[in-house]
Chain A
Amino acid sequence: MLAFLVQRISQAFLVMFVISMIAFAIQDGLGDPLQELVGMSVSLEERDALRDEMGLNDPIYVQYVRFAGNALQGDLGISYFYGKPTLQVIAEHLPATLELVIGASLIIMVFSVPIGVYAAIRPQAFLSKFFMGISTVGISIPVFLTAIMLIQLFSIGVTIEMFPTDTGWGAWLNGALSTDGGLPSYGRGDELTHLFGTWNSGFFSSDGLWHLVLPCVSLASIMLPLFIRLIRAEMMEVLQSDYIRYARAKGLSSGRINFLHALKNTMLPVITVGGVQLGIMVAYTILTETVFQWPGMGLMFLEAITRSDIPLIVAYLMVVGLVFVITNTIVDLIYGLVNPTVKLTGKKA
């Protein structure tokens, strides 16, 4: 166990080192950070003096050595735009992103397991076919389009007057197809509860929860179909296996077979994929956060790119790299718990 953790920690360092090198190498391609710091009419000399002061005129390797030296002491530089240490800026934006991911994960967990299992047990049922059809649509619509549609339908509202309003059925159809809107379309709302540090949570007030609805649904929309399909496929495979047949032959109730014996083995690959997808979900938050003006890390990162805020970009990439390593480590540990036959590296069987 200890050897495993040591190995993972050294991996994390390697990942972060490589990421920081790459981020530094591409910084010239990102453009001039000064453009966001000074007005148009500032003279070239003034700009050059400022560049000198910020150390931007030094060769890249000098800048990198300086950065790496500070980084080893836990200082990842100061964001040009925020004027604060980059880690602090990230810490301020991290809770919003985590809450978004947690919310979306909850939606995925609550819906994917029952629907996936149902579709595996009754593959021919109408409802299964319906869910499979919907999930194909869901997986093929880009997340920002889903988001914009959700905003139009549930924030702004749609008034349908396609059918004749003077007839009863027309009015009813119009009413049924129209939506009122009213759900918040941007931001995290006014009532955040301070938990600790930089974490202000939207989970503890109705206002905060309402603000979470649309962003979480659109973020979940891309992953939910994937998990439904994955659980269904795995479950169908498990249901064919010998031990399930024996269990049936033994006369166990189908509920016990399906939910105790089959589901447990179904979940193994799902956990692995889920861990990786959790990391990918952090990437998808960039789109979701942009559309909903959600003040999380994704939006922060996108804006840092347009502003060429290089220290913040480097720090963000390193933190995300770390998040990937950590989630993968946790997934491996959970894997061991769920399936005792799986061995962590460095441990003799």
Chain B
Amino acid sequence: MRKLLTAFVGSMALAAAPLALSAEATKELKMAYDADPVTLDIHEQLSGGMLQLSHMSFDPLIRWNKDLGFDARLAESWERVDDKTMRFKLREGVKFHSGNELTTKDVKFTYERLKESSDYKAIFAPFTGINVIDDYTFELVTAEPYPLLLNTATYIFPLDSEFYSGETEDGQSKAAISKHGSSFASGNLSGTGPFVVTSRQQGVRMEFERFADYWDEASPGNVKKIVLTPIKENNTRVSALLSGGVDFIAPVPPTDLDRIKRDKDTDLVTMSGTRIIMFHLNQDRVEAFKNPKVRQAVAYAINQEGIAAKIMKGFATPAAQMSPAGYSGHNESLKLRYDVKKAQELMKEAGYEDGFTITMMSPNNRYVNDDKIAQAAAAMLARINITVDLKTLPKAQYWPEFDARSGDMMLIGWHADTEDSANFFEFLTFCPNADTGAGQYNAGNYCNPEVDALVAKANVETDREKRAEMLQEAEQRLYDDAAFIPLHWQDLAWASKKNVKLDPILNVMNLPYLGDLVVE
């Protein structure tokens, strides 16, 4: 497989050589993430790391900008034909790394492959088809009016259909998506993106070279070569930056923020993120949690600001709801409600003045300081006489426990793949239903059909304002009901040497657009 890749890359480099001289991109960037991409097949897994690779070696039809709006990329323009159809116009003259030209047949191929991918098929479920009008025009069709059509289009990174078609030497289909074992696509790549993969040693290093025929000539990016090294250990990653071994690192651990700020040769960029960290209160396991008063008491007993300040070192934004600011469902009027007196009163009213004992579970290596957050929450609950028996587990062991709902309170962090509030409700608070998959991560078994109906209605409302109102009302009702205990949105942090101009290419999705990166 590697031979194939190098052979392909080799021929690429030869073809690109004369052009590369005239390109203005000259800088080399050494960067360290906490992990490298698990595969070269961007449809194999839906994860932050894979999307970061997608933005380096591929281009989406449209992409999010800093203000959570959309920028045209491979789609030049788009218009709604009717409430179920959106027509896109493709950019002309875009070349893949293989030299093939991008047309609608590549988009169709990509769309169909996405529908096959186990990680992506849920996101593309509302879509019923793709109509190819001509080489540069196509339409995406949904079953119902779908307000998130454009959000979803940010996941369409056209693949080189010619490159991924046919069979390999041992008779495997090149288009096959393999979750385990290797496939053609997991070791070979041809996209339209700014960087060509020139070598890859999984878990060790990955090298990229700027694509000489990259279509976006307006891009200010001047990075010619990228060396990506995965450095899992936080301390080592920070040391690598401070010692000058790398130019750019992400993520930056909260404990080292000050150290990097103090260093005069490095820049730190932080942003409030969109991943909500929260607790579910399991009503099936604990009778008391069926009582809204008890749930509210818990909500009043938890000091989100305290956790954000003391445990997260200010590296989190305290939350009173799931939707972060900027999302359509974000309800400004929902305030943090830490008040121990009120919490004690509520427990008294509910008849649980003497409290009770529950179990709590949390991962200890999944989210930033996850186990410490759980410890703090357990201590806070002691003040309303709820005794907590806390168990923290590594993530590989935690999720099977989570699926089995084996704790009375379980911690989870969630990032909406669609960058939209409805996703939070669908996975975290919908009435659990094994057939439809609704409420798959609702470990509280909280069930409020009215709120579910409201969100479902919002999901076919294409008027953005009306839709936002509905989602905000849903947040309000869950807040009043204390359906879950929100804690905070985890902040994001990146750090680089001073000459690497990070700020313009970063966003809350944590997808650095490295193609546009300027290094002085």
Contacts and interface: CB of A to CB of B under 8 A. Distances in A.
Interface of A: 29-33, 35-46, 50, 53-54, 78, 80-84, 92, 148, 151-152, 155-157, 181-187, 190, 290-293, 295, 299-300, 303, 306-308
A293 B241 CA distance: 13
Given A156-B239, A295-B201, 17 more contacts: A39-B119, A41-B46, A43-B440, A50-B180, A78-B181, A151-B239, A155-B245, A185-B240, A290-B233, A290-B236, A292-B236, A293-B229, A293-B232, A295-B204, A303-B203, A306-B365, A308-B396
B240 A32 contact: no
Interface in B227-272: 227, 229-233, 235-236, 239-240, 242-245
A183 B118 CA distance: 45
Contacts of A155: 239, 242-243, 245
Contact of A37 (B45, B183, B414): B45
A323 B123 CA distance: 48
Contacts of B236: 151, 185-186, 290-293
Contacts of B183: 83
Contact of A36 (B123, B396, B417, B437): B396
A289 B447 CA distance: 48
Contact of A84 (B38, B182, B205, B243): B182
Residue among A82, A156, A185, A308 with max Cβ neighbours from chain B (10 Å): A185
A201 to B, nearest CB: 15
A37 B179 contact: yes
22 contacts: A30-B397, A31-B396, A31-B397, A31-B400, A35-B399, A36-B38, A38-B119, A39-B47, A40-B414, A41-B122, A43-B440, A83-B182, A83-B186, A84-B182, A155-B239, A182-B244, A186-B240, A291-B235, A293-B231, A295-B201, A295-B203, A306-B395
Contacts of B14: none
B123 A41 contact: yes
Contacts of A39: 45-47, 119, 417
B178 A31 contact: no
B122 A43 contact: yes
A187 B240 CA distance: 10
A303 B119 CA distance: 23
A129 to B, nearest CB: 34
B178 A300 contact: no
A41 B240 contact: no
B400 A42 contact: no
B39 interface: yes
Given A40-B441, A84-B182, A290-B233, A187 B205 contact: yes
A73 to B, nearest CB: 18
Contacts of B441: 40
B87 to A, nearest CB: 28
B269 to A, nearest CB: 21
Contact of B403 (A37, A44, A306): A44
A132 B398 CA distance: 47
Interface of B: 32, 38-39, 45-47, 118-119, 122-123, 178-183, 186, 201-205, 227, 229-233, 235-236, 239-240, 242-245, 365, 393-400, 403, 414, 417, 427, 434, 437, 440-441
Given A38-B118, A184-B245, A32 B231 contact: no
A78 B229 CA distance: 24
Contacts of B239: 151-152, 155-156, 185-186
Nearest to A300: B203
A192 B398 CA distance: 40
Contact of B395 (A31, A38, A82, A290): A31
A38 B396 CA distance: 12
Contacts of A290: 232-233, 236
Contacts of A83: 39, 178, 180-183, 186
A187 B398 CA distance: 31
A293 B233 contact: yes
A186 B204 CA distance: 11
A149 to B, nearest CB: 11
Which 6 A-B residue pairs are closest in the complex by CB-CB distance?
A31-B396, A39-B46, A31-B397, A155-B243, A295-B204, A83-B182
Contacts of A38: 45, 118-119, 179
A81 B39 CA distance: 9
Nearest to B426: A41
B404 to A, nearest CB: 11
A33 B399 CA distance: 10
A332 to B, nearest CB: 36
B243 A185 contact: yes
Contact of B396 (A32, A40, A181): A32
A77 to B, nearest CB: 10
A37 B434 CA distance: 21
A31 B395 CA distance: 8
A167 B398 CA distance: 60
A185 B245 contact: yes
B229 A186 contact: yes
Contacts of B38: 36, 81
A60 to B, nearest CB: 15
Contacts of A151: 236, 239, 243
Contacts of A299: 203
Contact of B243 (A43, A45, A82, A181): A181
Given A83-B39, A308-B396, A303 B232 contact: yes
A80 B186 CA distance: 13
A32 B365 CA distance: 15
Nearest to B207: A190
Contacts of A50: 118, 179-180
A307 B394 CA distance: 10
A92 B203 CA distance: 11
Nearest to A307: B396
A32 B400 contact: yes
A44 B440 contact: yes
B397 A29 contact: yes
A278 B45 CA distance: 40
Contacts of A291: 233, 235-236
Contacts of B397: 29-32
Contacts of B118: 38, 42, 46, 50
B117 to A, nearest CB: 10
A66 to B, nearest CB: 15
A238 B120 CA distance: 72
Nearest to A80: B180
A152 B242 CA distance: 9
A78 B180 contact: yes
Contacts of B119: 38-39, 41-42
B437 A44 contact: yes
B403 to A, nearest CB: 7
Nearest to B400: A32
Contacts of A31: 393-400
Contacts of A92: 201
B122 A42 contact: yes
A307 B35 CA distance: 12
Contacts of B123: 41
Most buried by A among B123, B203, B229, B414: B203
Contacts of A37: 45, 179-180
Contacts of A295: 201, 203-205
B219 to A, nearest CB: 27
Contacts of B399: 31-32, 35
